[in-house]
Structure 1
Amino acid sequence: MGQQERMRVGLVYGGKSGEHEVSLSTAFAVMQEFNYDKYEIIPFYITKQGQWRVGDTRHEPFANKEELTLESGEGRTVQAMAMLFANLDRAASGDAVSSGVDVMFPLLHGTYGEDGTIQGLFEMANVPYVGAGVLASATGMDKAVMKQLFTHAGLPQCKYTDFIRVQWEKEQDALLAKMEAELGYPCFVKPANLGSSVGISKARNRQELIEAVQFALRYDRKIVVEEFVDAREIEVSVLGNDEPQGSLPGEIVSSNEFYDYKAKYLDGKSQMVIPAPIEDALLESIRQMAVTAYRAIDGSGLSRVDFFVRRSDMQVFINEVNTLPGFTPFSMYPQMWKESGLPYNELLDRLLQLAMDRFEAKQGLQYENA
């Protein structure tokens, strides 16, 4: 890429997950914010059936969200893959291939978007990409594995248990007794591998617990059950590769009994308070814990780290790391950075540079004995 040339950013959105429409809204919002004097955008749309479509290079945003679905056709799908994997030719020629992209920017929420699968595709294509790598993405999606890493890092957590479908089918009575003894009621039941609070239920008795587990098993073979904590929900935006930084923490005041899919995306009544109205020393402690959690999953690029602060004694518990948080200009992640002194357009610049830095560092690694 010449010094005066615009960086070619492949924006990937849509996808096969249940958060397809959320991804379209995110992509449309992000496209409005790019500095088209510095970047040109190549839209990559993935249909709900998993078909890739690529649009013409954009030097301005789409006029409306409907245009994001691009035109259909097998040729466009072949061209999309050719443009992605054209970057493999860089190793032979030493130059960027004219038909390729400089960096991919995935805006895919949920399964096949933030679980490490598409990140693995980018690794195979040898193309830089924004956000967490394969391991951190997969770990960030699997709440059970994530919790094990938090334990190893010494981070405080709510009491929880996890199990898989076959255990539930064979040991239901024993699991129920264990959850009642260790977690009590009410408790929260979650699919281990799903984003945006889909499939989560609050159980107040044994019958509701059984129904909640059966409901969560529609979405995943692995289930996490957590104790209920009467708590405030505090979040931190983390940015960086090997030297990550945390933003000012913010607080979510949910419109619903808990911050579920409806409260996040549908009713528009939840509030964000930045910085969170908590004593300064505790805010700084949460900020540092967010960086610890980010490093625990080997994060890179960006993540939002979520905490509970128990109302009775202000005890902090880590909840989860979200490696591909909501990213419209009005989402919590960029809003926390805005209040920390980093506006949205500069945040985009930083994320793209972090992607390039990580890619260049990885190119220097050796994969065979000298």
Structure 2
Amino acid sequence: MSTPLGIWVLSSDGNFDTVHVTTSYNWEINNDYISSEQSTFELLDNGPIVEGQFIIAKRLHTADVIYIGIINAFENGQVKTGLMQTGLNYDIIMRPGSGKDINAHLAALIKNNNSKNQPLGAVSEIEVDGDASAWSYQQEDAVKVKNMLSYFTHMFKKYRNILTFQLSSNGISGRLSKSTKNLALKNNSIDFVDWDVSVSPADTGTNNLIIYSIDSTPTVPKILSSWYLTRGGDLTQSIDDNVRVPVLSKGVIYESYKDDETGEIPSYQEIAESELKASTYAHEINVSIRNESKLVQFADFNSIGALATITYDNTIYQSVLTGWTMKSDNAFTTFMFGNVRSSLSDLLEDE
């Protein structure tokens, strides 16, 4: 039996006027922060719906919003939509940089680049939530044109900070934050089915970062700090702490992380976090959880960026929740963990 959703379509002119209200009995929601897959809704009746308007999906007879998106197309009664953050799918000028507050950095990017003609032009309120945390970004070129959505996805993979949207007194507002939830799953319940585990050890790639001074020369390297990634995905400065050997090293110049505006440079550990830790979650683990499960609540798992401890066949994986998929005729929701997707488009994406 299909589960119906209440559908509200709002204008994109900044007033967020209600354009159409209807019901959908046949729908598929893809809330995937890595791949940004489209969602689809077949509407019970048609209305003055056009590309660029906003769509709200709620459980019938409740205030429970499960999806907010941007309409990409409307044809033959079917709406195709993208997550709100896909409204950042345009190019900006990017430079290497670093700072002490990644949320403030990302908010400034939106504020300074998001004009009224952009898909998110109507969303003027972006809240910064949570404690400040350091960030750094490096690229080969001093100045480069980069896709903003790709940049936000890249920073999410490294730091788990996400851009989400919610209904507010002003219509729709955004929030930059990092989930503080910790999830636990084990493949020992009939509520957890269709496991798909594709995992490589966290340190199969680069597992050693050497931070050099700019005064280094080829024959006289000046090493300021050296860090390792353990087999368990933790940072250490001791090669004896369960580190794979021989190591695969990467070198960086400490002074290159200096922020042009503030003059600040991250600590050695912050640089190591930025350059090595993301590979801890370089895997793909999918599991479907019964919607009516008494073991877990959907609200607990509807927190993209939450850390997760996954036990599968007596092996423990440290992971991060990066997406979920829900369908109208399916009694299970598929949750996706890890920052890797096996689709060709994601494999080819330029980070």
Higher helix share: 1
**TM-score w.r.t. length of structure 1:** 0.31
**TM-score w.r.t. length of structure 2:** 0.32
Higher strand share: 2
